[in-house]
Chain A
Amino acid sequence: GDSVTQMEGPVTLSEEAFLTINCTYTATGYPSLFWYVQYPGEGLQLLLKATKADDKGSNKGFEATYRKETTSFHLEKGSVQVSDSAVYFCALSDRGGGTSYGKLTFGQGTILTVHP
């Protein structure tokens, strides 16, 4: 079945540091890939997405590129802020047919803490 593996956290950075959170996936079809962010005490928010190979999703300074050859979707940001402290989830959506269509499979989540 489909699976998503994220780098283990927690990740602790100083403000303005460079961020990379690794994400790799296993899927039988051609999934869409997502990064969701969960701020303390809140639900998940869509951060960015990519629907096909070589697509780059970007939002709020975060970027991730859909790499089919390495089955990866690593999240990057050039300069993090304290307000970026949250839990980040990588996910894929099965676009194959049948009852699994549209179901999201999540990675385990990575806790990011940014210090001033």
Chain B
Amino acid sequence: GAVVSQHPSRVICKSGTSVKIECRSLDFQATTMFWYRQFPKQSLMLMATSNEGSKATYEQGVEKDKFLINHASLTLSTLTVTSAHPEDSSFYICSARDWGWVPDTQYFGPGTRLTVL
């Protein structure tokens, strides 16, 4: 149980285009999902907290207009990187919190490698 998927696993795009990344909880409902960014050989940086049916809460320094988050259902959150630039190239990871399985624990997706040319 407690499986989180992400799609796509890898994406390469041209500078100026937008890219959408999906995060799904496969066998549980997740009222809260989190989006992280991980740079090579570094830790995870929390970008935003996504709550089902309400606006996402962004961490300080994260541009909400550039990283659009939508949490339209209890099993799906999406992150859209708008007008992507090479500096947005990174590993994006989502996680979901399942209160019904093991409370207070986040389960992570496998990540999406974004490369902007």
Query: Are A and B a genuine interacting pair, yes or no?
Result: yes
Interface SS of chain B: strand
Measured between alpha carbons, how far is A108 from B110 in the docked complex, in Å? 19
Q: Which residues of A contact B102 (CB under 8 A)?
A: 49
A 46-63 binary contact with B (CB < 8 Å = 1; else 0): 100101000000000000
Residue pair A108, B43 in contact (C-beta under 8 Å): yes
Known A-B contacts A102-B97, A108-B42; the reply to A93 vs B109 at CB < 8 A is: no
Measured between alpha carbons, how far is A103 from B24 in the docked complex, in Å? 19
Interface size class, chain A: 20 to 34
Residue pair A99, B57 in contact (C-beta under 8 Å): yes
Taking a contact as CB atoms closer than 8 A, the residue among A32, A34, A107 that contacts B43 in the complex is: A107
Known A-B contacts A43-B110, A51-B104, A93-B104; the reply to A102 vs B32 at CB < 8 A is: yes
12 example contacts (A-B, Cβ-Cβ < 8 A) are as follows A32-B104, A36-B108, A43-B109, A45-B108, A49-B102, A93-B104, A93-B105, A95-B104, A99-B57, A104-B34, A104-B106, A107-B43
